[in-house]
Structure formats: structure tokens, C-alpha cells
Amino acid sequence: MPVSDAWRERLASARDDRLRQRRWRKRRVKPSATLDFAGNDYLGLAQEPRVQNAQAEGARRFGAGAGASHLVSGHLGTHEALEAALAEWTGRERALLFSTGYMANLGVLQSLADAHTAIFQDRLNHASLLDGATLSGARSRRYHHRDGEDLQRLLARSTATHKLVVSDGVFSMDGDVADIATLARVSREHSAWLMIDDAHGFGVLGENGRGCVEGVTREDVPILVGTLGKALGTAGAFVAGDAALIEHITQFARSYVYTTAQPPSIAAATLEALSIVRQEPQRRRQLFEHIATFRREAPLLGLPLAHSATPIQPLMLGSEARVMTWADTLAQRGISVGAIRPPTVPEGEARLRITLSARHTQADLHRLLEGLNACQREEAACHA
């Protein structure tokens, strides 16, 4: 068989398997009029005119792209200013920008861990953390979700020279929050470093929006990763920590060294977004009012909400077919929600992933609840 035919057969087999499982994913261009309850723009900053204007001005001033990696000639003044602002905001000595959150997690784990390292991860950690551990060549174990006792047991049995505990801050498909205090205590007891990926908490959680590690010392969480494309509404990510850590990652993280720097216009927009987060706490208050409203009203309709106090509100439907039917019904009403199925979540735990934003209105929430109730009525009618 010619090589090209062998490859085509392999691709066709993979496609057919996914189609048979009814898990083939399709990209859809989102209509501009869609009411978005699927994205992660938690504070509405992606649509904020001041952020948009800062991005446009950044492009005019610095160019559309950085033109090179940070270590060649792509590190500009706006990047330096943003790193300094992020370090100050998170209470760390330094911060380092990455082009995406996925690249940040790959780079941190690949640069810190090796065959002499044992990595301990929450079972529900994001794929980028799991992939970063694999890339590093370290021995990797996964402890039960939010289970400090299981982590304690695994750490006690490890004879590795270096130990690294890794957890999401807010779990992206469930919306629950890691027990940072327990993770920090257990890590200290076993001389392990703790890394928290606060992608969905940064800008949202904490009294001042510093995320799920607000109030926790940098000694307890020496490695902090955050993303900029969620609550801050722009793009990219950062890792923050002490100077020695950041310098090491700068030198050894392949996803940092060998890629073009973040566009300077994005850095300029993010500086403006960070300033708004710091100066306008009413955005977080508005967001949490929406969360309270949704969690009060949804159970009155009999909707099967998961336990989450964050903007991520999973509606646990179980059946993949049921999830797709509900998502299609909502789409016909001009409402976009996340239809989440395996392998993103475990078998039997398919769900609608509903995300709330400060930009939503009470009328938007009412429209969403009406749509979800209509899904229930149509389902009941089909089974009558």
C-alpha cells in the first residue's frame, strides 16, 4: 500500500471512530447577535471600549506583531510594563509572559521537571498540565479530585528527589475551587513545590480579584500561572514567582524560548484591562450577583446544577445526546452554551457548561432560564 494511502486510511479510521461515538466536533461561526453563555469573558472586558482602544493604539505605536521571540528582539517596553504590573498585582518578585495558557503550562513543567522529579496532579486538571508533565519526562501520579488525604498518601510513598504538586485553581469544567490551604500544607510537609494554574480565578476571585491564591503567601504557592484571555478579556498568559524561578523558566522553557513574543497590542490592551480590574470592583460584584440569581432561580425550575460558586455553572445532564439536544434548542433561541462531552469530561458526565459574565443583564439571565425551561418542556413532551 502506498504511504499516502496508509495515512489516508489511518485518518479515515480515526474519523469513523469519532463519528460512530457521535463525538465529532464542528466549528461554528458564532452569529454576532448570539447571547453568549459559553465564553470566559467573565468581567466583560473583551467588549470594553477602553481595552479595545488600548489595543488599537498599541498596534499603531508598536506594530501589529512583535516580530521575534522575547530573547531575540521581540521584547518591547509594553511587555516589560505588563510583566512588572502582573508581578506587583500577584505579590511576586517577577512575572513572565507567554503567548497562551497552554504554552505557559507546557513551558513551566518542561523546564522544571525531569526524570528525577515526581509530579502529583489533581485528577481533573486541565489537559495542558497533563501534557506538560508528559513532556517533562517526570514520573506523574494523579490524586483524587480535591482530596488532600490521597495526595498526602501519594507524597509519603514517593522517594523522588524533587516533588511538584500541581492543581487548577478553578476547575474549568466543574467550576469548583481547589483547597489551596490544604495543598500548601501537605506540600510543605513533604518538601514539595506547589504550582497553581489560576486560569479561571485570576481577576474574578478574592476580595481584590487576585484569584484563588489571594491571601496565600508566595512561599506557600511558589509557582503561579494565570491567563489573560478570560477575566482580563485579551489573550496570553503569565507565570509569576521569585526571580530565580522566572529566570530559570526564561532560559529553559522551550515554549518561551522558541516562539514569537505576544503581539505588543495585546500587552497594551491587557495593561488597560488590569487597571480596570483594580479600579472597578463593581464588575466583580455584578458578576457575583448574577451567579447568586442563577443559582437561586435554576433549582426552582428543577435544573440539575452542580455545586459551583464561580462563573462556571455546569448543568449535569449525563447523556451526550441530551446535551446536544438542549444545546441545539438553545441555539435556535439565539443562546450559546458549552456542550461538553467525553473525552473532555468522564463518561456519563456530559453537561451544559454555562458561564456568566458581568456584561450580562438580568434580562439576559431571564432569557437563559426561559430557554432552559423550554428544553425541559420539549423533553417531557417527547417522552409523554
- pLDDT 10s digits, 132-173: 999 999 999 999 999 999 999 999 999 999 999 999 999 999
Average pLDDT taken over every residue of the chain: 96
**pLDDT, tens only, 102-131:** 999 999 999 999 999 999 999 999 999 999
Of the candidates 70, 79, 163, 200, the residue annotated as catalytic is 200
Task: Find, among 276, 233, 270, 237, the residue nearest to 253 by Cα.
Answer: 237
Q: For residues 326 and 352, is the Cβ–Cβ distance under 8 A?
A: yes
What is the model's pLDDT at position 382? 87
Mean pLDDT, range 23-30, rounded to an integer: 85
C-alpha cell recorded at residue 75: 521584547
Rounded-to-integer distance, Cα 105 and Cα 372, Å: 35
Annotated binding-site residue? 227 = yes
Q: Label residue 340 left, alpha or beta by phi (over 0 means left) and psi (-120 to 50 means alpha).
A: beta
Domains of the chain: 49-279 (3.40.640.10), 281-383 (3.90.1150.10)
In the predicted model, what is the mean pLDDT of residues 201-219?
Answer: 96
Q: What grid cell was written down for 372?
A: 432552559
The annotation status of 344 as a binding-site residue, yes or no, is yes
Q: What are the pLDDT digits (tens) for 352-381?
A: 999 999 999 999 999 999 999 999 999 988
Determine the average pLDDT of the residues in 334-349.
95
**102 has binding-site annotation:** yes
Q: Look at residue 5 in the predicted model and tell me its pLDDT.
A: 86
The confidence band for 33, taking pLDDT boundaries of 50, 70 and 90, is confident
Cα distance between residue 19 and residue 7, in whole Å:
18
Q: Cβ contacts of residue 175 below 8 Å, gap of 6+?
A: 306, 308, 309, 310, 311, 312, 313, 314
Ligand-binding annotation for 258, yes or no, is: no
- In which band, very low, low, confident or very high, does the pLDDT at 23 lie, cut at 50, 70 and 90? confident
Supply the pLDDT for residue 152: 98
Question: pTM to 2 decimals?
Answer: 0.94
User: What's the one-letter identity of residue 317?
Assistant: L
Tell me the pLDDT tens digit for each residue of 278-326: 999 999 999 999 999 999 999 999 999 999 999 999 999 999 999 999 9
Catalytic site residue 190? no
Q: What's the half-sphere exposure (Cβ side, CA atoms, 13 Å) at 303?
A: 29
CB atoms under 10 Å from CB of 119, counted, come to: 26
d(CA 266, CA 227): 13
Contact predicate 66/99, CB 8 Å: no
Active-site option among 70, 75, 79, 230 = 230
Query: Residue 338 belongs to what H/E stretch?
Result: strand 335-340
101 is in an annotated binding site: yes
Four-residue CA torsion sign, 318, 321, 326, 330: positive
Ligand-binding site membership of 256 (annotated): no
| Tens-place pLDDT, residues 58-92 | 999 999 999 999 999 999 999 999 999 999 999 99
**Is 1's pLDDT higher than 70?**
no
The reported pLDDT for the residue numbered 6 is 87
The predicted structure's pLDDT at residue 26? 86
* 172 part of the active site: yes
Q: Is the pLDDT of residue 2 over 70?
A: no
| Active-site residue flag, 163 | no
Choosing from 111, 140, 172, 255, the catalytic residue is 172
User: Is residue 25 part of an annotated ligand binding site?
Assistant: yes
* Amino acid 313: pLDDT: 98
Distance CA 356, CA 294 (A): 9
